[in-house]
Amino acid sequence: MKTHPVTAALLVLGNWKMHLTQQASLSLAKQVAGEVGSEAAGVVQVGICPAFPYLLPVADALMGSPVLLGAQDCHFKPEGAFTGCVSVNMLADVGCAFTLVGHSERRAGQAERDADVRAKALTAISQGLHAVICIGETAAERDDGSFKDVLTRQLLASLPENTSRDMVSIAYEPIWAIGTGRTPSAEDISSVHTHLQAVLSDMVDGPLPRILYGGSVKPNNALEILSLPVVDGVLVGGASIDPSQFANIIQAATQAALKKV
Ligand code: PGA
What's the pLDDT score for residue 163?
A: 94
- What's the mean per-residue pLDDT of the chain? 95
Convert the pLDDT of each residue in 163-201 to its tens digit.
Answer: 999 999 999 999 999 999 999 999 999 999 999 999 999
CB-defined site of ligand 1, < 6 Å: 15, 173, 178-179, 214-217, 235-239
What's the pLDDT score for residue 178?
A: 97
Indicate which residue of 105, 137, 141, 173 is catalytic: 173
40 Cα–ligand 1 center, Å:
23
103 is catalytic: yes
Convert the pLDDT of each residue in 55-68 to its tens digit.
Answer: 999 999 999 999 99
What's the pLDDT score for residue 3?
A: 54
Between residues 38 and 153, the one the model is more confident about? 153
What's the pLDDT score for residue 201?
A: 97
Q: How far apart are CA 213 and CA 151, in angstroms?
A: 13
- The pLDDT-based confidence of 22 (bands split at 50, 70, 90) is very high
Maximum distance among all Cα pairs of the chain, rounded to whole angstroms = 49
pTM over 0.75: yes
Indicate which residue of 35, 75, 103, 137 is catalytic: 103
Q: How far apart are CA 147 and CA 138, in angstroms?
A: 8
Residues 6+ apart with CB under 8 A from 219: 239, 245, 248, 249, 252
